[in-house]
Amino acid sequence: MDELDRPVLDNHLHLDPVNGRNTAAVEDFASLGGTHLLVLNKPSWLLGVDVEAKDDFREVFDLTVAAVEDATEVLDGRAWPVLGVHPALISQLLDRGFAVEEARDLMQAGLDVAAEYVADGPALALKSGRPHYDVDDDVWTAANDVMKHAFELGAEVGSAVQLHTEGGEDFTEVAEWAEDRGLPRERVVKHYSGSHVEGPIASVLSNEDDLAAAAERDDPFLMETDFIDDPDRPGAVLGPKTVPRRVRWLLEEGYEEAVERAHVETPARVYGIDTEATLE
């Protein structure tokens, strides 16, 4: 297959150096013209780490940083780590006997550690959010407090924040929370988006219908697979070849400007990265 000869970024993908395909999945991405990756650390418990204290998060983050270094070796562009605390951890901690306030505090401490990795260099951005499933009101409040802390840290270290949340389109309030804490809303990214969200930047799950709808708009957007690198669920959520395949499809459909927006302009705007300059 001919080379795309342009930046192709998957904005949200997981690599699992413990249980998964790891670099082999990156090779699949690169084989169809994928050039750049934002690699999100998997939830701590899926990497075999039961966090009890702040520094336990370092093992999770170090595994992801190492996976990103290996990924960069096989890409024509490069990969960056996006580090943080998966919002479902709050339920894991409650099931293990933590009080709600203790769970909140530990998750905020984990984000403090992630912010160190951003400030000191290896990580590009933070990840946070709130449960995408029903929880009690006190748990919802605590999860929102964790997310607000991520916004404070993003403003402090000058990084974007990717969010894992419930579905929907209207996240205006969340964007306002970020702005109230000094983080511009264009540096807040709603992972696993449909074609459009109000407030943050949409990271569109790369199916054709949503991408075509996003391409028809003038809004900034990103493309992602949310590949989870689980050997028991190969190809979930979408496989690592999906973004370069969808880029080819968008170009065939005449959406050249939208491809430029998703893979060059929006990454520069949100993360301050230059996907053209980092392409060999």
Q: Is residue 55 part of a domain?
A: yes
Task: Using pLDDT thresholds of 50, 70 and 90, give the confidence band for residue 48.
Answer: very high
Q: Are 227 and 244 in contact (CB under 8 A)?
A: no
What average pLDDT does this structure show over 26-38? 98
Q: What is the pLDDT of residue 1?
A: 44
Q: How many domains does the chain have?
A: 1
- Domain carrying residue 54: 15-271
- Tell whether the model's pLDDT for residue 3 goes beyond 90: no
Count Cβ atoms below 10 Å from residue 280 Cβ, excluding itself.
7
What's the angle, vertex CA 119, arms to CA 16 and CA 41, rounded to 5?
15
Hey, what are 2's tokens? 């001919």
Return d(Cα 64, Cα 215) in angstroms, integer.
Answer: 31
Q: Is residue 5 part of a domain?
A: no
| Structure confidence by residue, pLDDT tens digits, 122-165 | 999 999 999 999 999 999 999 999 999 999 999 999 999 999 99
Return d(Cα 221, Cα 223) in angstroms, integer.
Answer: 7
Q: Is residue 280 part of a domain?
A: no
Compute the mean pLDDT over every residue in the chain, rounded to the nearest whole number.
97
Phi first, then psi, for residue 229 (nearest 5°) are 55, 55
What average pLDDT does this structure show over 98-120? 98
What average pLDDT does this structure show over 49-76? 98
Q: Is residue 138 part of a domain?
A: yes
CATH code, 40: 3.20.20.140
Name every residue whose Cβ is closer than 8 Å to that of residue 248 and which is 6 or more positions away in sequence: 4, 32, 33
Nearest Cα residue to 154 out of 175, 182, 130: 182
Q: What is the pLDDT of residue 280?
A: 79
What's the angle, vertex CA 169, arms to CA 166 and CA 170, rounded to 5?
95
Nearest Cα residue to 226 out of 217, 218, 235: 235
Q: Is residue 215 part of a domain?
A: yes
Q: Is the omega angle on the peptide bond into residue 68 within 30 degrees of 0, that is, cis?
A: no
Task: Using pLDDT thresholds of 50, 70 and 90, give the confidence band for residue 2.
Answer: low
Q: Is residue 9 part of a domain?
A: no
Say what the pTM is.
0.97
What average pLDDT does this structure show over 25-43? 98
What proportion of the chain, given as a percentage, has pLDDT over 70? 99
Task: Using pLDDT thresholds of 50, 70 and 90, give the confidence band for residue 4.
Answer: confident
Name every residue whose Cβ is closer than 8 Å to that of residue 278 and which is 6 or more positions away in sequence: 36, 77, 78
What average pLDDT does this structure show over 170-194? 98
Q: Is residue 250 part of a domain?
A: yes
Q: Is residue 10 part of a domain?
A: no
